[in-house]
Amino acid sequence: MTIHREGYKSIAIVTLLFGALNLSIFWFFGASLLWLCYIILFVSVIFVLFIVSFFRIPSRKLTISENSLIAPADGKVVVIEETRDDEYFKDKRLQVSIFMSPANVHVNRNPLSGEVVYNQYHKGKYLVAWNPKSSTENERHSVVIRKGNLEVLVKQIAGAVAKRIVNYLEVGQKVKQTDEMGFIKFGSRVDLLLPPGTKIHVSLNEVVQGGVTVIASF
């Protein structure tokens, strides 16, 4: 396991703040309320470890498949339905949505290899990520990757807690399946918009792993 570069600053700030807090508490209350000092220290360590775990990149064997779409994120499948896309395709698409809780790994990965033909950031609200309106009303970043005649829209969506979306892709860039496409901090959602009739290999409420689980085939 390694730590994602997006976490270096956050981990350093949290560690320094809680370190200073605990030093102050032990300095002022160590003689009279030592038991309370140790409780606060314990809670502080747990919180710092949680922040570290949030930015973890676990060691795993990634799935490479020419005719498959691989999960772009860890989490639970919360939507599989036909919807209308008014942003890029202007027609009906098959939507698969993955909800990431704060406990999930939050690296986002390319579901397929190809060329980035669309990349757009949208300001928006911060509704809870499982709200159906979050797909079109929340802060989000949309990317379309083209492979031959296939185009797939990947949408990173901020949630009520997640308020920073990072996207590393640019229009014209050639990308490889399962390579990093971005990161979303502290709970969020990723939508895939696929051609109607695409064969789906996951079901509602199924837990998937980014870069590993096959979402669909074409």
CA–CA separation, 128 and 92 (whole Å)? 24
Nearest CA to 107 out of 211, 1, 32, 29 is that of 211
| Average pLDDT for the chain | 91
Nearest CA to 96 out of 108, 80, 83 is that of 80
**What integer is the mean pLDDT of 177-205?**
92
**What integer is the mean pLDDT of 91-110?**
92
CA–CA separation, 100 and 54 (whole Å)? 11
pLDDT tens, 50-75? Answer: 888 878 888 899 999 999 999 999 99
Q: What percent of the chain has pLDDT over 90?
A: 69
**What integer is the mean pLDDT of 130-153?**
87
CA–CA separation, 51 and 53 (whole Å)? 5
Tokens in use for 199? Answer: 């064969």
- Give the model's pLDDT for residue 54: 78
Active site residues: 188
Task: Name the pLDDT band for 129 (thresholds 50, 70, 90).
Answer: low
Q: What is the DSSP string of the chain?
A: -EE-GGGHHHHHHHHHHHHHHHHHHHHHHTTT-HHHHHHHHHHHHHHHHHHHHHTEE--------TTEEE-SSSEEEEEEEEEEETTTT-EEEEEEEEEE-TTS--EEE-SS-EEEEEEEEE--B---TTSTTHHHHB-EEEEEEEETTEEEEEEEEE-SS---EEE---TT-EE-TTSEEEEE-SSEEEEEEE-TTPEE---TT-EE-TTTSEEEE-
Tokens in use for 218? Answer: 């074409």
